[in-house]
Structures are given as structure tokens and as C-alpha cells.
A = this chain, B = another copy of it.
Amino acid sequence: MIRVNGQTTDSVSARDRGLAYGDGVFRTLRTQAGQPVWWEDHYAKLAADCAALMLECPDQAELCAEVCQVAGTGQGVVKIVLTRGAGARGYALPPEPATTCIVLASVLPQHAQVFDDVRARWCELKLARQPRLAGIKHLNRLENVLARAEWNDPAIAEGLVCDDSGAVISGVMSNLFWIKDGELFTPDLSQCGVAGVARMRLLRAAARLGMGIHIDRFLPADILAADEVMICNSVMGVRRVARLDDTTWSPAGWTPTLNNALYENLD
């Protein structure tokens, strides 16, 4: 089911700026029993991303009601897309922009239904550094599309990407973490990448567990020297990377602990 601006429909205006320029933001979240999971965090991130692009964000309660409208009764995935709406031709912001709000439901993908370790690879594509857009889950995602197009092997769940300076940034569809000597490491995302909600919750969980946390510039060699490598996003939670190209790791026990902590609601 798809709702666009509060109406059940599967289409949007061909003049929408989301289509013309990728002028908008999105969220992908899990639903359970018809309710969004981690809703407060998702809405807060959506509102922050809207603010960064000078986009009006819908009211929290109204948006939550839309999500519940499309969500099934069991487990599922809902995607929220907010764009700067339909406009005249040209990059200039419309004088009276009206946000287009698209809420669409999908089934929970197979890989999110079982808590398996994953296999990953390094991508050739290097992310460009744009601090004005870094961290935002915006609709300009051609880099992700090109990186994901580098492999077809269904056994490989994720590709890891570096920026053009050689720093490790993330997975194509996930954030990246690793443990070394009991401390948690994750790349700084001030230059590129998406700072996802699962990442934020994992950082919070690690703080609650009293772990040392390092958010910094790291290189591929830092990943290879890790004790345990993990990826996370809001759909699959935290997953252990068991193999990265030819490097393999045995479980060090952190992934189930952190994945469980991710779902705690202590706030």
C-alpha cells in the first residue's frame, strides 16, 4: 500500500522535485503489529534531515498515523519519502513549497527475518566528500546504486565503501562498526555517508554498556585488524561480518549483545 499526501495512490506528479533533482529525504523503518519501530528516533532524524535541506517536515502524529495506515498487521518495512513537491522547472526553491509525503509499505526482506552472519566485499567506488550533504539520508543516492551494481553474488550481503581520501565510511546500505580490545569503532560521517538511526542507537547502547567509543577517520587496515566487524541498519539490526573478501573472523560475541541492546528502550 502507498499513501501520497494522505491519499491512497501509487503515483506522484511527474513534476515532483524529488524526481527532478532528488530534492528530498527518506527513512526506511520496520513496523511490528501495525506500529513503527524506533519511531521517536526516526522522526527526529527525519526532522533534522528536513531542516538541513530547508524542507518542511510533516507533523509527527499525522506522519505516524500515515505509517500505521500502510503498515500490515505483522512485521514489515515502511519507507517514508519527503520531497520539496512539484515545482516549475529550475533549481530555485519554489516560492511556496508544499512537501510531498510518500509512505509505502514493503514486506520484510528475507535477510531481515533471520539473524545470520553476513559476507561482505570492498567496493571500487569511492564516495565523494560533500560536508553539506554528509550524514543526511537524502534522495541523491547514485553512488549507492553504482556501488551496489559492482556485485551480483547473492551470497554477498553488503559492500563496504571508502571515500576518495581512502577513509572507510560505511556499507552501501548500512553503517559499519567494529570491536578492538573491547572498544567500539565507527567512521566519522562529517564528509560523506548516512548517519542512520540504527547507528545512533548502537552508539547509545554501547555508551550504556560502558564501552569505549571511537568515532574517527579509519582505514581499511583498521577493519582487517578488528576482533569483530558489524554492520547495522534499521531493517536488519546489527549483523556480524563473518567474511570480508578473503578475510574471515570467528565470532567474538559482541554482535548478539549489541543487537539486543539496540532494541532496548531506556530513553
Contact = CB atoms under 8 A, between A and B. Distances in A.
Interface of A: 2, 4, 9-23, 26, 28, 53-54, 77, 79, 81, 83-84, 88-93, 102, 104, 106, 109, 125, 127-130, 132-133, 138-149, 164, 172-173, 192
Given A11-B13, A13-B10, A143 B172 contact: no
A19 B18 contact: yes
A77 B129 CA distance: 34
The 10 lowest CB-CB distance pairs between A and B, nearest first, are A22-B22, A128-B128, A128-B130, A140-B140, A11-B11, A91-B148, A21-B141, A19-B19, A91-B144, A140-B142
Given A19-B19, A53-B142, A128-B129, A89 B106 contact: yes
B14 A2 contact: yes
Contact of A92 (B18, B125, B149): B149
Contact of A19 (B16, B54, B88, B147): B16
B130 A89 contact: no
A14 B54 CA distance: 23
A77 B11 CA distance: 24
A81 B20 contact: yes
A77 B90 CA distance: 12
27 contacts: A10-B14, A10-B15, A11-B13, A11-B14, A12-B12, A14-B102, A16-B19, A17-B145, A19-B102, A20-B81, A21-B142, A22-B141, A23-B142, A79-B89, A90-B109, A91-B144, A91-B147, A91-B148, A92-B149, A93-B148, A93-B149, A125-B132, A127-B130, A132-B143, A133-B142, A138-B142, A140-B140
